[in-house]
Amino acid sequence: MNTIKYYTLLFLLSFSAISMAQEDNKRLKIINAHIGIGASNLINAEAPHKIISISDVYYLQFGESNSEFNYETNFFKDMKYNFVGGIGFEYFIKPDLSLSASLNYEGKGLDIDYRHKDSGGDTDYVWASQENYVFDISNHYITLPLIMRKYLNASNTFYLQGGAYMAYLIQSSIDFSIDRLYVSSYKFDSDQLELIDETEVGGNSGSNIRAYENDFEDDLTSTFDLGIVLGTGYTYPLSDKLYIYADLLFSIGLKDIDGVNDNEYSETSLPASSGYNTVIQSENYYGLNSNAKNFSGVLTVGVGLRL
């Protein structure tokens, strides 16, 4: 009797497995390849303390006349544009609902080019200063988005999508430059004093300070990133098996960009030839906010094959 029950249970399990396999074979599976362009930035990139390191020691010494730097961020102006490409797989759970996974290369970062001007004086003496800041941060990731797609029409050509992504940093390069120029004049009115090149001020006083750094010994960018993705897309069939598609996907990181620092800040007074100087130390993300998050919008086009 036990033997009969055993073979009956084995038959039922085998029949169920065969039925599930047959059902699974009926479900549509798709492989695809895609390339495109991404626009990226860092959310909340402006540091709480704008101290920019020009050495491996993150400090800037200044007195009352030379305080923090004056850069500002702009979400749209500071966008960085990068290449995106990868391969993917789509599995249909229902005729209008699918699960998609892809393995992509994606560049992220930001590109700040900011100029700050200031001037003052009176009718006899005028001065002007100009500071130029360039931050070029290029972070290169291998990303794995896991996405649910909901098709909205009977022909399964238009869909909305959402899910999550994980990313692994494969390379990070940080370039920044700072140009500071101060000129003063007894000859011109303030509206005539222009800061284009120090040589243009002739016999008037002028000074130029340039700091440039493009190779850091310690990489501050976090090795792993994760976040949420939302978007839409459209497919166009070329045949029963082959189709082309366009995909728009926005991703928002949930993890801090800085894997080492957390905007630590301190002040120390040191004796100087005339009074005291204040040493300000802020350990941040190359002068930007350690708590900034990745943001990107990616437009890709590709080709898919129904299996």
Say whether pLDDT at 163 is over 80. yes
Q: How much is the pLDDT for 187?
A: 54
Best CA proximity match to 265, nearest among 70, 55, 50:
50
Say whether pLDDT at 51 is over 60. yes
Residue pair 183/195 in contact by the 8 Å Cβ criterion: yes
Kindly report the length of the chain: 307
248-254 mean pLDDT: 97
pLDDT tier for residue 62 given thresholds of 50, 70 and 90: very low
Say whether pLDDT at 240 is over 50. yes
Report DSSP state, residue 186. Answer: S
Determine phi and psi for 125, rounding to 5 degrees. -140, 130
Say whether pLDDT at 208 is over 70. no
104-111 mean pLDDT: 96
Decide which of 264 and 43 is more confident.
43
Contacts of 198 (CB under 8 A, 6+ apart): 181, 183, 206, 207, 208
- Which two tokens mark 111? 């590109």
236-258 mean pLDDT: 95
pLDDT tier for residue 164 given thresholds of 50, 70 and 90: very high
**Mind listing the pLDDT tens digit for each residue in 176-196?**
777 767 676 665 544 444 543
C-alpha distance from residue 257 to each of 108, 164, 167, 276, 290 (Å): 11, 17, 12, 35, 6
Decide which of 48 and 222 is more confident.
222
Residue pair 88/82 in contact by the 8 Å Cβ criterion: no
Say whether pLDDT at 209 is over 60. no
Report DSSP state, residue 20. Answer: H
With tokens 């350990």, the residue in question is 283
pLDDT tier for residue 24 given thresholds of 50, 70 and 90: low
What's the mean per-residue pLDDT of the chain? 78
CA distance linking residue 295 with residue 42, whole number of Å: 6
Residue pair 292/252 in contact by the 8 Å Cβ criterion: no
With tokens 């892809």, the residue in question is 102
Q: Out of 79-83, 113-117, 210-214, which region has the weakest mean confidence (pLDDT)?
A: 210-214
C-alpha distance from residue 283 to each of 52, 56, 253, 271, 290 (Å): 9, 10, 22, 23, 8
CA distance linking residue 112 with residue 80, whole number of Å: 9
